[in-house]
Structure 1
């Protein structure tokens, strides 16, 4: 009976008039991102050959003028050896341009790393970086250390460096960055959308449901399991399809590539950083998706029993998912006088927890991987208790009763 009911639920979910257009939209969005947005997306490491050639032309003109006038020494006013500095940049940028145009990305990366090692302050002081950030220099320093750790890994391990690796556009790197940004929210919204009507839709087909001699609580559990499996199938399908399409363009990447993580908030130097492998990051991130998916499915059941309207369930559950966005600032370390590390919404974008990014943003050390798992599990237990209580108050007869 349980298996029959599961098949019945999976069939209804997969053929839903609400879900099919949503899945199609996700597919269109996925391929649009992989084939249109990503190839045209610039990063801080984007190399612009035309601008570099213009820079070199200007340097050559200035150098010729200085040679003609004899201005090849130290500038009396500033004390800067302008001619020698220009010669240095001319040699370095020309070498980078040649390596880039020859697709010799290993050599290009060594030259780029050499430049960054000697020009940290120029990198951090770049006015085009983090223009909307309240702490631009702190964020630029953070990006500098992450970039250096990443490049150091590529060079030490003798990877065959590609354009995609430098710009973090290989399949695994794109997945990593998605999980570090808004990917978790997208996946969880998929779960919320797919599970928002698993109870309410049956109010239209009460006679069909009566054919299954199941207790109310067992029925709720089987519905949870069916939409849980379907949601994970959709999410994994999106991930596999996305990684496959991106890998065809920029390569797959390597599970051994290092991901910079911040382990402390003390010195704001490389001492506060460490690295983990891409495999470790993906394993920790992806393993939390089932936990969060189960949490929101059970929450949607509670809301369905109380609200009896799928769109209200979708709205309320989505507001809970994005609730942190309503109060989050770079100084919001407490909520109602309680450390935010004790609130489950802090851990919905779990990728930032694994890398220490959220600790960095808030300048705290209280948000950890282990605490996140504990808080989420406690939240599930609380929701489970609420579901037991509410399902006894709103039983099967009262829920399916129509006015």
Structure 2
């Protein structure tokens, strides 16, 4: 009976008129992201051929001007108003070096020689950190732009150093993080877990409310009310996990076909402390470890929200109210989040479960960096989520005793 009921619930969810259009919509979004958006997404490190050509033209005109006036272009800059000290650099020589460097980058990009392009770009950034640190368009809307620019610079240099140290061929996909595994990493680091959990909430929001349309049949099932709730939860959990696995596999496969699979031993920069705001505050973990530590938490978050939806369904008896309430709890952190929020109701922010729903930002220390704290850790995240799950289980048991099967189905 248990097996047949579980199968029955699973198939109802899979064949639901709510589920099929939603899955189709998600599939369209996935293919649009993998085939259109992400392959052509521009980041700070994206090579812009047009801008490079315009910059080379500008440098060429500047060099002609300097030669026409017979001046090497020594520019003096005052270092201190208290001393007669000056510092300068030969603009003509600097322009000549940049012209050769950017010409080499352009030629490498056109020839698809990304190993040489990586060498030239790394050399340029190593000697010109202001490309990040003084870019006023980078992170211009955040509260701490200087801090974020420095953070991005260190992360970029650590990634490029790792590409140099590995023996793997440098391809477009590897350099610009578009391989299958790197795309999955970026997805999980940028609110991907939120997206997957919202899908779980949608799938499980009606697993109880839909039965109220078939009261005569279901009230006579030879199953206890609590076991029936457990089997419904298990069916929703299994369907949600099947969806998440399929989503990840199809997405990684789509990116692999275009840019390659990637490598599990690539380094992912992580922030281990915030003391000096130098490279000493950083370390690395392998890409495989990052993905494993993130993905292993997803089943726990899935069952947590499935059980939460059961509790809300017993209370509200309406799938749309359940969907709204559960989604509000999922995204509740966004209601109070700020870069200076370290406490909520007088308690450390690391003690609240919503801090860990976006688990992709926990492992690499990004959540600590954003909140300017060091109290949010991987181990604490697992503990807080487990405690939250146990609290929800106790709530479900109590609510199921108060709102029994007869009371649930006969309520108006």
Q: TM-score range by the shorter chain?
A: over 0.9
Per-residue CA deviations over 1:266-303 (Å, capped at 9, x if unaligned) read: 11111110111111011011111100001101110110
Give the structure 2 partner of residue 82 of structure 1: 91
Per-residue CA deviations over 1:148-197 (Å, capped at 9, x if unaligned) read: 11111010012211111222111111111110112111100011000001
The one of 389, 394, 400 aligned to 2:398: 389
Aligned to 2:385, the other structure's residue is in SS state helix
1:293 equivalent in alignment to 2:316: no
1:192 equivalent in alignment to 2:197: no
Map 1:217-256 → 2, pairs under 5 A: 217-256=226-265
Per-residue CA deviations over 1:231-273 (Å, capped at 9, x if unaligned) read: 0001111111111111111111111111111001111111110
Per-residue CA deviations over 1:89-133 (Å, capped at 9, x if unaligned) read: 011111111111111101110110111111113321111101111
C-alpha contact 1:45 1:166 (8 A) present in aligned 2: no
Give the structure 2 partner of residue 53 of structure 1: 53
Flag as ranges the 4+ runs of structure 1 deviating above 6 A: none
CA distance in 2 between counterparts of 1:337 and 1:395 reads 37
1:21 equivalent in alignment to 2:48: no
TM-score, length-scaled by structure 1: 0.98
CA distance in 2 between counterparts of 1:324 and 1:75 reads 51
Give the structure 2 partner of residue 103 of structure 1: 112
| Number of residues of Structure 1 aligned to a counterpart in Structure 2 | 403
CA distance in 2 between counterparts of 1:167 and 1:127 reads 22
Aligned to 1:293, the other structure's residue is in SS state helix
Aligned to 1:75, the other structure's residue is in SS state strand
The one of 352, 355, 360 aligned to 1:351: 360
CA distance in 1 between counterparts of 2:115 and 2:101 reads 15
Map 1:139-218 → 2, pairs under 5 A: 139-218=148-227
Q: Return the offset for 1:207.
A: 2.7
CA distance in 2 between counterparts of 1:76 and 1:13 reads 72
C-alpha contact 1:5 1:212 (8 A) present in aligned 2: no
CA distance in 2 between counterparts of 1:400 and 1:157 reads 62
CA distance in 1 between counterparts of 2:232 and 2:380 reads 29
5+ residue gaps, structure 1: none
CA distance in 2 between counterparts of 1:165 and 1:49 reads 19
CA distance in 1 between counterparts of 2:53 and 2:43 reads 20
Give the structure 1 partner of residue 409 of structure 2: 400
C-alpha contact 2:268 2:287 (8 A) present in aligned 1: yes
C-alpha contact 2:73 2:92 (8 A) present in aligned 1: yes
Aligned to 2:284, the other structure's residue is in SS state strand
Aligned to 1:364, the other structure's residue is in SS state coil
Aligned to 1:40, the other structure's residue is in SS state coil
Aligned to 2:89, the other structure's residue is in SS state coil
